[in-house]
A and B are shown apart, each in its own frame.
Chain A
Amino acid sequence: MADVLSEIVLPEDLKKFEKIYHEQLYRNDVTPKAKFEYAWCLVRSKYPADIQKGIVLLEDLYRNDVEGQRDYLYYLAIGNARIKEYAKALGYVRSFLSIEPGNVQLISLKENITKKMQKEGQRGIFVAGGALLAVGALVGVGVALAKNK
Chain B
Amino acid sequence: MSAGPYNYSYIFKYIIIGDMGVGKSCLLHQFTEKKFMADCPHTIGVEFGTRIIEVSGQKIKLQIWDTAGQERFRAVTRSYYRGAAGALMVYDITRRSTYNHLSSWLTDTRNLTNPSTVIFLIGNKCDLEAQRDVTYEEASKFAEENGLLFVEASAKTGDNVEEAFLETAKKIYQSIQDGRLDLNAAESGVQHKPSQPGRNNLSNDQQANKDNCPC
Write the residues of chain A forming the contact surface with B, with a CB cutoff of 8 angstroms: 1-4, 6-11, 13, 17, 33, 36-37, 40-41, 46, 68, 70-71, 74-75, 100, 102-105, 108
Contacts and interface: CB of A to CB of B under 8 A. Distances in A.
A3 B48 contact: yes
A2 B76 contact: no
A41 B48 contact: no
Nearest to A36: B72
B204 A4 contact: no
A102 B39 contact: yes
A120 to B, nearest CB: 12
A1 B29 contact: no
A105 B201 contact: no
Given A1-B63, A3-B1, A41-B76, A8 B44 contact: no
Interface in B27-71: 29, 37, 39-41, 43-48, 63
Contact of B44 (A33, A37, A41, A74): A74
A72 to B, nearest CB: 9
Contact of A103 (B1, B41, B79, B206): B41
B2 to A, nearest CB: 12
Interface residues of B, number: 31
A1 B207 CA distance: 12
B82 interface: yes
B76 A8 contact: no
Contact of A104 (B37, B63, B204): B37
Nearest to B11: A1
B13 interface: yes
A40 B37 CA distance: 27
Nearest to A33: B72
A105 B44 contact: yes
B29 A2 contact: no
Contacts of B82: 10
Given A17-B76, A37-B76, A75 B202 contact: no
Contacts of B79: 9-10, 13
Interface in B72-94: 72, 75-76, 79, 82-83
B174 interface: no
B207 A71 contact: no
Interface in B145-173: none
A63 to B, nearest CB: 18
Contacts of A9: 79
A36 B72 CA distance: 10
B45 A40 contact: yes
Given A1-B13, A46-B207, A74 B201 contact: no
A71 B42 CA distance: 10
Nearest to B78: A13
